[in-house]
Amino acid sequence: MHDDVLAAHRYSSFSEMGEVVQPRGAGALFQGDYSTSVTVGDEFDGSRLGLGVMHDLEGEVVSLNGVTWAVPVDGQPRVVASHEGIAFGIAARGGVQHKVAVNAGVSLENLIHVVDAYLEIAHVDHEQVVCAIEIVGTFTDVVLRTVAAPTFSHEPLAEVIDHETRFPFDVWSGSLVGFRFPDTTSADLIPGLHLHAIAQDTNSGGHVRAATTGKVVMHLWVDELHPWKSGLATSPGC
């Protein structure tokens, strides 16, 4: 990347510049509002990738290359229809793609350092942009999770997660997709690295609790032309 690529420009087209769409703040979800905020089609149609959670916590959501899955409490992903509702979602459209080398043996906790190190080399401050991320390949020591419906109306998400269902895999192949948000965000945004997963055979998936890289490739989509500004509906990003 060159300095002129990093210069500020007016926003023109998400297909060129990139856009992250988050129609509802994460704070509502954490406080137990699991009602529909948008349909699957409105959120993910035309996106590169995305993640979220279905309305009434009917499954963790992962979207990739135009297909969106929900992973319910039984751990078996199902393709969801465009008209179905989600309580929370983040989708990425457009942006400049970068291919990043990732060594074997990198834990989930250290993947964020790989992302940030690449951004630093590219003269991009991770506190100024949002990155969409896909890591595809083989992983070990994988733990995926999903949650059941709340036991009472507006049960806080933290209490629901206390009873999450986890699915461990010694070896697992597929894609981890998600976002690296700045660490200094409002309560309506999820800071750091947030990843969901869908298996190569589409027989497993969910929120990523743990994973260690085997033979993988990482792609980042970074909006290099627009500094990050806190916002929900159309936050400049990847």
Q: How far apart are CA 225 and CA 18, in angstroms?
A: 9
Q: What is the pLDDT of residues 36-60, one digit of tens each?
A: 999 999 999 999 999 999 999 999 9
How far does the chain reach from its first CA to its final CA, in angstroms? 15
Mean of the per-residue pLDDT values for the chain? 85
Q: What is the mean pLDDT of residues 81-106?
A: 92
Is beta strand 165-181 parallel, antiparallel or unpaired with respect to 85-93? unpaired
The CA radius of gyration of the chain, in Å to the nearest whole number, is: 17
pLDDT at position 223: 62
Is beta strand 192-199 parallel, antiparallel or unpaired with respect to 85-93? unpaired
CATH class of 96-147+164-222: alpha beta
Q: How confident is the model at residue 17 (pLDDT cuts 50, 70, 90)?
A: low
Given a cut of 60, whether residue 178 has pLDDT beyond it is yes
pLDDT at position 133: 96
DSSP 123: T
- Residue 89 φ/ψ, nearest 5 degrees: -160, 155
pLDDT at position 16: 44
pLDDT at position 234: 30
Q: For the chain, give every residue range classified as CATH 3.30.1330.80.
A: 3-92, 96-147+164-222
Q: Which CATH number fits domain 3-92: 1.20.59.10, 3.30.479.30, 2.60.40.10, 3.30.1330.80?
A: 3.30.1330.80
